[in-house]
Amino acid sequence: MRAAFRVASVAALAIAATTASHAESPGAANPAVKRGAYLVRFGGCNDCHTPKVMTPRGPAPDPGRELSGHPASVTLPPPPDLAPDKWMAATNGDLTAWVGPWGVSYAANLTPHRRTGLGDWTVEQFVKTMRTGKHLGTGREILPPMPWEDLAALNDQDLRAIFAYLRSIRPIENQVPAPLPPK
């Protein structure tokens, strides 16, 4: 009981430390950035867009590589054979690469890095992308499992807040590969 409590308070301290470091990050005083951080957390963006570290409870987001997308340095073996009456989709250990009937998709780099992230996107392009499910609002269709339909249900203010938060995080250089067509 006592040990369990100690573990719980260590976890609480770790959470407090994470929150504190977030509070000190640039732009954190901006209410839109704060709201964006909250929505990104609830929206599970880290589940797919942040590379993982292995823990006894499975893969967990690596805070040092927040939202930097599928790591360009990782070479994956060919995807397993899938079929609708067997297993329909599979993912890698980072949960950043996904294979299914749509081919292979790689979670995008959402950091403000200019060349490899969303650095050159405008807030209008971000909102349009999430509303239409098309790259920059006019390009190719965004592939599963990116849940853009869920984001499309948010109001403009919340989508703008998400973008404000994505602008406030550390830019990380990581060129995510282009998706592969189905076999």
Contacting residues toward ligand HEC, per CB under 6 A = 40, 43-45, 47-49, 98, 105, 107-108, 110, 129, 135, 142-143, 145-147, 151, 162, 179
Minimum Å gap between C-beta 169 and ligand HEC is 11
β-bridge partners, 99: 90, 104
Q: Is 74 exposed, middle or buried (0-12, 13-18, 19+ CB in 10 A)?
A: middle
Of 25 and 134, the one with the shorter C-beta distance to ligand HEC is: 134
Nearest to 63 by CA among 22, 107, 101: 22
Minimum Å gap between C-beta 106 and ligand HEC is 6
Nearest residue to ligand HEC, by Cβ distance, number only? 43
Of 30 and 132, the one with the shorter C-beta distance to ligand HEC is: 132
β-bridge partners, 100: 103
Of 33 and 40, the one with the shorter C-beta distance to ligand HEC is: 40
Identity (one letter) of the amino acid at 111?
T
Minimum Å gap between C-beta 140 and ligand HEC is 7
Minimum Å gap between C-beta 178 and ligand HEC is 8
Minimum Å gap between C-beta 65 and ligand HEC is 15
Of 28 and 152, the one with the shorter C-beta distance to ligand HEC is: 152
Of 6 and 115, the one with the shorter C-beta distance to ligand HEC is: 115
Query: Per 3-state DSSP, what percentage of the chain is helix, strand, and coil (rounded to 5)?
Result: 40, 10, 50
Nearest to 40 by CA among 161, 129, 170: 161
Asked if 182 contacts 144 with a C-beta cutoff of 8 angstroms, the reply is no
Q: What SS3 state is found at 6? A: helix
